[in-house]
Amino acid sequence: MATINDNFLKLKAGYLFPEIARRVSEFQAANPEAKIIKLGIGDVTEPLPDAIIKAMHEAIDEQASRETFKGYGPEQGYPFLREAIVENDYAPRGCNVAADEIFISDGAKCDTGNILDILGKGNKIAVTDPVYPVYVDTNVMIGNTGEANDKGEYEGLVYMPMTADNDFIPELPKQKVDVIYLCSPNNPTGAVMTKEALTQWVNYAKENGSIILYDAAYEAFIQDSSVPHSIFEIPGARDVAIESRSFSKNAGFTGMRCGFLVIPKSLMGKDSQGNDVSLHKLWNRRHGTKFNGASYVIQKGAAAAYSEEGKKQIKETVGFYMENALIVRNTLTGMGIETFGGENAPYVWVKTPGGMASWDFFDKLLNECNIVGTPGSGFGASGEGYFRISAFNSRENINEAMNRLKTKLSV
C-alpha cells in the first residue's frame, strides 16, 4: 500500500487565499447582484508595460524560424536576463552579486518552498508572526514542525512577533536558530527593515551560523531612499543570506511567472559531518534536476523590464499602486481607523475597529460593503485584530471601495 507524507495532515484547513476565495464565492452565490471589490490577495490589475509586451511578441516570432527557434534553455536562466539583473538591481546599489549567482525561476513562491530541498531536516526555523503563510506551510510539509496549537502555531517553529510595539520589526531570537525568514517590505504588514535592523540580523546569522532567507519581492515599492532594497547592501550578507525576488508585483507578472534567487558562492551550510558545503552548488544541482528553466518568452519579457522604456513604465505602475495605497490610508485614517504600512509597500495593515476579530471584520466588510480584504489572523496569531488591504486594483475600484467604506461601514 502506498503511503503519503503524513506531514500534510498537520496543515490547517486550506491555504489562506483559496480559503478566502471559497468564502467569497459562497457569498457571491447567495448575493448574485453584489458587485464585489477584491482587495484581498495581492494580485496586480494593470496591463503589462508596452516594452514587455513588445519583447514577448518578438520572442514568440523568433520561434517561427529555425535560425532563431529556442529549445531547452539554460536551467539557471538566460545570461541576458541574469546580467540585466546584476546591472540594474545589484551593481548600482553596491551589491557584490555575480550573474552566475542568480537562478531564474517561474516565481518566488516556488523558490521559497523549493529551497527547503537543500536544507537539512531538523533545522531550527524562525519565522515572523504575522508571516507570509508559504514559509510556514512549506516547513510543515517537509516535516520541520510538530502539530499546530489552537492559535495555529506549529510546535518546533520559533515565532518572532511583529506588533505595533516593535513597529512590526522582528526582534532577534533569544535562542539560536538555524534558518530565518525575513521579508522586507513586509507582507503582510507593509513595514520595512532599516539598514541598522538588517545589519543586526546579518551579524546574528554570522555569530550563530544561521542562514537568512530574505524575501525582497516588494522592493520596487520602497519610496524611502534610506531603506535597503537588498540584503546584499549589508556588509557580510554574502556569507549568510539567500535573497528571493519576483517580477510579479513590479512588472505585473503574477500570471506570466518569473522570479529568481540569489545564492552567493560564499554561502556555506554544514553537512552531517560538520563540513562546509556550498549552497550554490547544491541549488545548481537541484535546479538542473528538477527544473528545465523558465520560458524563453517570459525571460525576454522580464529582461525588457530593465530597458529604459520598461523601467519608466514600471515606475509609473508602481507609483500608481502606491497612490492607491495612499488613498486607502487617508480614507481609513479619516474614519478614525488606525493603519500601518502602505508607505513603502502595496499593503495597508489595518487595526480592526473596536478590537474586532480579523475574520469578523472580514465578514462585516464583505456583507456591508461587498469588499474583500485579508484577515490578519490568517497570517499568524499576532495578526489577530488586524486586516490587510491590498493596493493592487484599478483607481475606479479603489475609489468605489473607499466610498463604500465611508458610507456603508458601521464602525
Q: Which residues bind ligand MLT (CB under 6 A)?
A: 41-43, 109, 187
Q: Are 340 and 374 in contact (CB under 8 A)?
A: no
- Please, what is the minimum distance in Å from the beta carbon of residue 8 to ligand MLT? 19
Question: Which is closer to ligand MLT, CB of 18 or CB of 120?
Answer: 18
Least spacing, CB of residue 342 vs ligand MLT, in Å: 14
State in angstroms the smallest separation of the CB of 46 from ligand MLT.
Answer: 15
CA distances from 393 to 47, 169, 372 (A): 11, 27, 12
* Residues 191/169, Cβ–Cβ less than 8 Å: yes
Please say which residue, 42 or 310, places its beta carbon nearer to ligand MLT. 42
- Burial of 336 by CB count in 10 Å (0-12 exposed, 13-18 middle, 19+ buried)? exposed
DSSP code per residue over 179-203: EEEEESS-TTT-----HHHHHHHHH
Residue whose CB is less far from ligand MLT, 218 or 296: 218
The count of C-alpha atoms lying within 13 angstroms of the C-alpha of 75, restricted to the half-sphere facing its C-beta, is 10
Smallest separation, CB 109 to ligand MLT (Å)? 5
- In angstroms, what is the minimal distance from the CB of 266 to ligand MLT? 29
Distance in Å, CB of 28 to ligand MLT, minimum: 19
- Contact yes or no for 191/160 (Cβ under 8 A): no
Closer residue to ligand MLT (CB): 132 or 204: 132
- Nearer to ligand MLT by Cβ, of 141 and 411: the residue is 141
Do 370 and 30 touch, CB atoms closer than 8 A? Answer: no
- Closest residue to ligand MLT, judged by C-beta, is 42
Among 392, 246, 221, smallest CA distance to 305 is for 246
Q: Which CB, 109 or 287, lies closer to ligand MLT?
A: 109
- Provide the b/e sequence for 11-23 (b: ≥16 CB within 10 Å): eeeeebeeebbeb
In the complex, minimum distance from the CB of residue 107 to ligand MLT, in angstroms, rounded to a whole number: 8
CB 332 within 8 A of CB 348: yes
Q: Which is nearer to ligand MLT, 41 or 99 (CB)?
A: 41
